Each structure stands twice: as structure tokens, then as C-alpha cells.
Amino acid sequence: MKWLLIMLIAVTAAGAEAAVGKPWSRATINGAEAGAVFAVITGGDADDKLMAAESTASNFTEVHEHALGADGVLAMREVQGGIAIPAKGVVELKPRSYHIMLIGLKAPLIKGAKVPVVFVFQRAGRIAVEAEILDPWAMSADDR
Ligand SMILES: [Cu+2]
């Protein structure tokens, strides 16, 4: 009983860390060699940052954002310095916004299958998830 109490106190003291919910991706079509992964990230008790992502499904994995380029065209690019995850906040990775880019897919993403992704946070560390692969035109985790 005593050790349990000590463990509970330790967990409480450590506080809640950022979490990755509802990870999803889109099936690739026509042999596309890139894919995107989306999710809802909820902040922990302290500010955090999503620094990077990794996946065994692609040769390169980057954290991307959509932003207006100098030419006025909305384009995606790698996020510099990570995505801020405010304490208790919610940051959604979604189409036309932040996303994890899988570059150089080793195999097509098939609807109904799952793709492994590791989210790397400054505080929360590495969080491994399996993103569900939805329709190629899905716009949210609820599109099936
Ligand atoms: Cu991208």
C-alpha cells in the first residue's frame, strides 16, 4: 500500500504531458510518394513544443505548415523551431494547416490500414501513434 501511495504522488507531481489524439492520414492515389498525417494535440500542464516527427513508413518525415509565400501563393513548408503547444491548449493538425509530411513513402498508404508515426515533443518526449488511413479526400478524422 505504501509504495502505491508513493507512486501516485510521483505521478501527480510530474503533471500531465501533451498528448496526441485521433491521428489519421489519407490513402495515396496514383503512386503518390508523399503522404500527410493529422491529429489533435492537447497541451499538458506546461507549455510544450512539437519539434519533429519520425516514421518508418517514409524516407523523410517533416513537420509542415501552410503559409503564404513571397509570391502570394499558399504553399507548405517545414516548420522552423517547432509548433508551440500551449499548456492546456489544443492544436489541430489538419488539411491546409499544420501536418506531418511523409516524404518518400516506402509503400502506398492503403485505406483502412494504419501508418506508424512518432511525435517528438520538447517536454513530453517521444509519443508513438498509429494513424488510421482514411479516404484520399478526407478532410477530418470523422470523414470515412
Ligand atoms: Cu506538407
Place of cell 508513438: 128
Place of cell 519539434: 51
pLDDT at residue 5, as a whole number: 58
CA dist 108 and 74 (Å) reads 26
Cα 5 to averaged position of ligand 1 atoms, centre (Å): 46
Cα 91 to averaged position of ligand 1 atoms, centre (Å): 17
Cα 18 to averaged position of ligand 1 atoms, centre (Å): 23
Domain ranges of the chain: 18-134
pTM of the predicted model as reported, rounded to 2 decimal places = 0.87
The grid cell for 12 is: 501527480
Q: Are 93 and 39 in contact (CB under 8 A)?
A: yes
Q: Are 7 and 34 in contact (CB under 8 A)?
A: no
Cα 10 to averaged position of ligand 1 atoms, centre (Å): 39
pLDDT at residue 131, as a whole number: 98
Q: Count the neighbouring beta carbons within 10 Å of the beta carbon of residue 111.
A: 17
pLDDT at residue 115, as a whole number: 98
Domain 18-134 fold is Immunoglobulin-like (2.60.40)
pLDDT digits (tens, 9 = 90+) for 59-112: 999 999 998 888 888 899 999 999 999 999 999 999 999 999 999 999 999 999
Cα 22 to averaged position of ligand 1 atoms, centre (Å): 19
Coil, strand or helix at 84: strand
Q: Count the neighbouring beta carbons within 10 Å of the beta carbon of residue 106.
A: 11
Task: Please calculate the CA angle 88-54-129 and round it to the nearest 5 degrees.
Answer: 55
Cα 103 to averaged position of ligand 1 atoms, centre (Å): 9
pLDDT at residue 143, as a whole number: 83
